[in-house]
Chains A and B, each alone.
Chain A
């Protein structure tokens, strides 16, 4: 009983900030667009901001989906390679992938900016998605590797001996077997790309190509550093809502993705 009470209280504590943001975004507050009474003033500020919220949502969606695509393709192939093959440079490459986690984000941005310019990908959602996918690789590759390793050996061998070649084995038999891992990796990539702020800040110059977090950050600060908290709260809600819904929809698979990879630890 006390255990349940404690757990319930903790759950409330964890849910509180999200609920608070939703309520605060529609409640009256000085220095915002919603001064008197309850209403959607802050959302109107957000909706009318520069290129319009529709454009920002579209940009964010495009970037997030491209990032998911790049991350999944690269991580599935890479995870497969690391789990099933021994090849020269395998360990070095894997360690390099993990090393991405250890470099301060801010440091890489200037070189990345220069690099994208050289590749003709500056100020493009495609370039942004490629960079965001790179930042996802440590987790994604690790996850896919352990997912493939967790497939029972008999099944892997059977798929290969079948004579259908390693790629067909991957496509028809092994990918279905690591589906939970795929969903986990994909969801992670989506959430990270959807929410990222610093990378688009440096890499994207056109207001009408900016993703939503950048627009929210822009709205936050007014003259002499004054903050419009109302617009910030509305922005957080609009940013969070798709993520929370997507998370709830995929939660079961997401959790299973972790579980299935763990069989081998």
Chain B
């Protein structure tokens, strides 16, 4: 079964090579160059790109906010998704309707959903006015858009747990809470881990929702790292070198975070 593997993988390799690896290499080159948006390459500029990216007055606030947003979103989103999955676990007409309701928001793109909430929030003056409210309003949008998707992933995990396991637990005299804690959660671990990885990665790269809803305001309280990348490239500094340097840092951090998560997943599973 080894012959032909590459033949089938060639389209993937071409796609990844041409549209991902080449651009990434160019980003890498930008990150070590003094590369203006309009002016192009003006020679090597390391480590100045990296140090000046970190020295930006919004760098640490953006890091802090991105982490905060990631933690808040992941906890709420996965908690809610798990609850929803448990609610609609059985298959009947009512739960079918519920599943559909929770999944439908996922049919909208994140940008469309952000535009929708942007218009919706315009009728609720002040809802984006303080740092706290701006954060929660955005979390509300993201939870609405993605809860169904994660519910589905967890539902898949739940259905993978055989009925006999529950039967055995019931015979052992376990009540519902005990069953959940000692049977469901551990067996759901791989699904939960997959959801966590996706959610953490997505949240750390959050851009559209803040770009449309809050523009980083009020008072720069909701600037994420990727927004900072965008601002460095297109928001007046027009410095692709610094922006690329920051992107590379983000990529490295995400790789590290994901490797740690994968390790944790493997060890405990």
Q: How many angstroms between the C-alpha atoms of A9 and B255 in the bound complex?
A: 39
- Cβ B101 vs Cβ A247 within 8 A: no
**Is A175 in contact with chain B by the CB < 8 A criterion?**
no
**Chain B 230-262 interface 0/1 with A at a Cβ cutoff of 8 Å (1 = within):** 100100000010011001001100110010000
Question: From residue 62 to 121 of chain B, which have CB atoms closer than 8 A to chain A?
Answer: 84, 87-88, 94, 97-112, 115-120
- Cβ A17 vs Cβ B105 within 8 A: yes
Question: From residue 152 to 167 of chain A, which have CB atoms closer than 8 A to chain B?
Answer: 160, 166-167
Question: From residue 170 to 205 of chain A, which have CB atoms closer than 8 A to chain B?
Answer: 191-192, 194-198
**Is A243 in contact with chain B by the CB < 8 A criterion?**
yes
Given A104-B205, A258-B152, is A21 in contact with B101 using a C-beta cutoff of 8 Å?
Answer: no
Minimal Cβ-Cβ distance residue in B for A227: B122
Q: How many angstroms between the C-alpha atoms of A55 and B24 in the bound complex?
A: 34
Contact of A263 among B115, B144, B160 (CB under 8 A): B160
**Is A51 in contact with chain B by the CB < 8 A criterion?**
no
- Cβ A141 vs Cβ B1 within 8 A: no
Q: Could you say which residues of chain B place their CB within 8 Å of the CB of A97?
A: 12, 16
Question: From residue 69 to 122 of chain A, which have CB atoms closer than 8 A to chain B?
Answer: 70, 73-75, 77-78, 80-82, 84-87, 89-90, 93, 96-97, 99-108, 110-112, 114-115
- Cβ A21 vs Cβ B116 within 8 A: yes
- Cβ A85 vs Cβ B24 within 8 A: no
Q: Could you say which residues of chain B place their CB within 8 Å of the CB of A70?
A: 15
Minimal Cβ-Cβ distance residue in A for B141: A17
Minimal Cβ-Cβ distance residue in A for B159: A259
Q: How many angstroms between the C-alpha atoms of A263 and B157 in the bound complex?
A: 9
**Is A147 in contact with chain B by the CB < 8 A criterion?**
no
Q: Could you say which residues of chain A place their CB within 8 Å of the CB of B183?
A: none
- Cβ A85 vs Cβ B8 within 8 A: yes
- Cβ A134 vs Cβ B16 within 8 A: yes
- Cβ B84 vs Cβ A10 within 8 A: yes
- Cβ A102 vs Cβ B12 within 8 A: no
- Cβ A111 vs Cβ B23 within 8 A: yes
Q: How many angstroms between the C-alpha atoms of A77 and B10 in the bound complex?
A: 8
**Is B5 in contact with chain A by the CB < 8 A criterion?**
yes
Minimal Cβ-Cβ distance residue in B for A114: B26
Q: What count of chain A residues pass the 8 Å CB interface test? A: 89
Q: Could you say which residues of chain B place their CB within 8 Å of the CB of A3?
A: 87
Q: How many angstroms between the C-alpha atoms of A131 and B191 in the bound complex?
A: 29
Q: What count of chain B residues pass the 8 Å CB interface test? A: 83
Minimal Cβ-Cβ distance residue in A for B147: A14
**Is B18 in contact with chain A by the CB < 8 A criterion?**
yes
**Is A232 in contact with chain B by the CB < 8 A criterion?**
yes
Q: How many angstroms between the C-alpha atoms of A25 and B125 in the bound complex?
A: 19
- Cβ B100 vs Cβ A251 within 8 A: yes
Q: How many angstroms between the C-alpha atoms of A74 and B106 in the bound complex?
A: 24
**Is A7 in contact with chain B by the CB < 8 A criterion?**
yes
**Is B173 in contact with chain A by the CB < 8 A criterion?**
no
**Is A220 in contact with chain B by the CB < 8 A criterion?**
yes
- Cβ A77 vs Cβ B251 within 8 A: no
Q: How many angstroms between the C-alpha atoms of A232 and B21 in the bound complex?
A: 36
- Cβ B5 vs Cβ A86 within 8 A: yes
**Is A265 in contact with chain B by the CB < 8 A criterion?**
yes
Q: Could you say which residues of chain A place their CB within 8 Å of the CB of B3?
A: 85, 166
- Cβ A108 vs Cβ B23 within 8 A: yes
Question: From residue 1 to 44 of chain B, which have CB atoms closer than 8 A to chain A?
Answer: 1-13, 15-16, 18-24, 26-27, 30
- Cβ B229 vs Cβ A106 within 8 A: yes
Q: Could you say which residues of chain B place their CB within 8 Å of the CB of A87?
A: 2, 5-6, 9
Q: How far is the CB of A148 from chain B (nearest CB, A)?
A: 11
- Cβ B201 vs Cβ A102 within 8 A: yes
Given A96-B20, A97-B12, A112-B23, is A103 in contact with B247 using a C-beta cutoff of 8 Å?
Answer: yes
- Cβ B12 vs Cβ A106 within 8 A: no
- Cβ A236 vs Cβ B115 within 8 A: yes
**Is A255 in contact with chain B by the CB < 8 A criterion?**
yes
Q: Given known contacts A104-B207, A259-B159, what 9 new A-B pairs fall within 8 Å (CB)?
A: A93-B9, A111-B23, A115-B26, A134-B16, A197-B111, A236-B108, A239-B109, A247-B104, A258-B155
B→A interface (CB under 8 Å): 1-13, 15-16, 18-24, 26-27, 30, 84, 87-88, 94, 97-112, 115-120, 122-123, 144, 147-148, 152-153, 155-157, 159-160, 190-191, 201, 205, 207-208, 225-226, 229-230, 233, 240, 243-244, 247, 250-251, 254-255, 258
Nearest 5 CB-CB pairings of A with B: A195-B109, A85-B5, A87-B5, A78-B12, A111-B23
Interchain Cβ contacts under 8 Å between A and B, 14 examples:
A7-B94, A8-B98, A74-B12, A78-B8, A78-B12, A81-B8, A82-B9, A101-B201, A110-B240, A112-B23, A134-B16, A236-B119, A248-B104, A262-B156
